[in-house]
């Protein structure tokens, strides 16, 4: 949690409440379910290239997970390339 909190310093000047949360779920469903339960205003996700180009693995890449979250979410989703 400390590393997660350090990604957004307290002096960042944001005028909204930021909640850091770590849970373990199947990624797309878990992210969108927690967002709905907590009535969040925005989901922010870090994504990076997996280096896997095989078509059979495409559904497991971080970008595919982000796509699923964007499709399922009831709020805006911001993806940040890591």
More confident residue, 29 or 59: 29
When divided into structural domains, the chain yields a total of 1
Give bridge partners of residue 14 from the DSSP assignment.
none
Q: By residue range, what is the domain housing residue 70?
A: 2-9+16-81
Question: 32-82: per-residue pLDDT in tens?
Answer: 999 999 999 999 888 876 555 545 455 556 678 889 999 999 999 998 887
pLDDT value at 3 more than 60: yes
Tell me if 36 sits within 8 A of 72, measured CB to CB. Answer: no
How much is the pLDDT for 16? 77
Task: Print the SS3 string covering the chain.
Answer: CHHHHHCCCCCCCCCCCCCCCCCCCCHHHHHHHHHHHCCCCCEEEEECCCCCCCHHHHHHCHHHHHHHHHHHCCCCEEEEEC
User: Which two tokens mark 59?
Assistant: 């559904």
């Amino acid at each position: 949690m400390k590393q997660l909190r350090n990604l957004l310093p307290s002096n960042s000047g944001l005028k909204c409440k930021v909640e850091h949360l770590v849970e373990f779920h199947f990624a797309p469903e878990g992210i969108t379910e927690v967002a709905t339960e907590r009535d969040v205003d925005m989901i922010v996700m870090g994504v990076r290239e997996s280096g896997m180009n095989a078509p059979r693995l495409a559904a497991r890449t971080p970008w595919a997970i982000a796509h699923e979250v964007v499709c399922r979410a009831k709020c805006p989703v911001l993806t940040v390339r890591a």
